[in-house]
């Protein structure tokens, strides 16, 4: 995209506007460029937490390429772009649930159960953009814009859920404070 305009409120210059706002995406116009553009970008990324599941990863990447050029005495222009991203993330989760007991010294509240989990996510995103612009004369100007976007997220969640207080555990050496 060459420009992205965000309108947070109604504007009389817009043909149609959404209640919560409008986003106007403007594609690059190849015939407005001074000369040929070839740009390539690549970078790696590493998650701060090592992989928590055997099928997870802590390493990812971002890559993109752009090509813009003009032909036929600057009356035909093309712009092509492609990008790919692999973004990993790792999460450690712990959920406690329920309280067994009645909250008295003889039957204090005890944690009912727990669910410790580890989660490994992998977001893959691929995109492409193409613009063909044709201006054979001062009275005719045509453009064709195409955008492709695909993403896929894989989540691996592993853990265990087990009862504690509801399984009638043997309790010894407890200090009860306010029923807990």
For 73-122, how does the pLDDT look when each residue is reduced to its tens digit (9 = 90+)? 999 999 999 999 999 999 999 998 888 777 787 778 888 889 999 999 99
- CA–CA separation, 136 vs 106, rounded Å? 91
Instruction: Show the tokens assigned to 37.
Output: 């553009």
- CA–CA separation, 146 vs 151, rounded Å? 17
- CA–CA separation, 134 vs 30, rounded Å? 9
pLDDT at 178 over 90: no
Entry pTM: 0.69
Q: Is 10 helix (H, G, I), strand (E, B) or coil?
A: coil
The pLDDT of 47-69, averaged and rounded, is: 92
- CA–CA separation, 161 vs 165, rounded Å? 13
């Amino acid at each position: 995209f060459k420009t992205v305009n965000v309108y947070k409120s109604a504007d009389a210059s817009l043909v149609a506007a959404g209640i919560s706002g409008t986003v106007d995406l403007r594609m690059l116009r190849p015939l407005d460029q001074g000369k040929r553009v070839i740009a390539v970008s690549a970078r790696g990324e590493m998650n701060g937490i090592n992989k928590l599941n055997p099928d997870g990863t802590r390493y990812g990447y971002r890559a993109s390429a752009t090509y813009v050029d003009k032909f036929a005495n600057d009356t035909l222009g093309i712009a092509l772009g492609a990008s790919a991203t692999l973004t990993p993330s790792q999460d450690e989760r712990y959920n406690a649930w329920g309280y067994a007991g009645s909250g008295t010294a003889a039957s204090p509240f005890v944690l009912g159960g727990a669910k410790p989990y580890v989660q490994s996510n992998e977001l893959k995103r691929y995109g492409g953009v193409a613009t063909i612009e044709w201006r054979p004369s001062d009275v005719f100007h045509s453009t064709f814009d195409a955008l492709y976007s695909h993403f896929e997220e894989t989540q691996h969640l592993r853990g265990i859920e087990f009862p504690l207080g509801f399984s009638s555990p043997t309790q010894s050496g407890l200090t009860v404070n306010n029923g807990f």
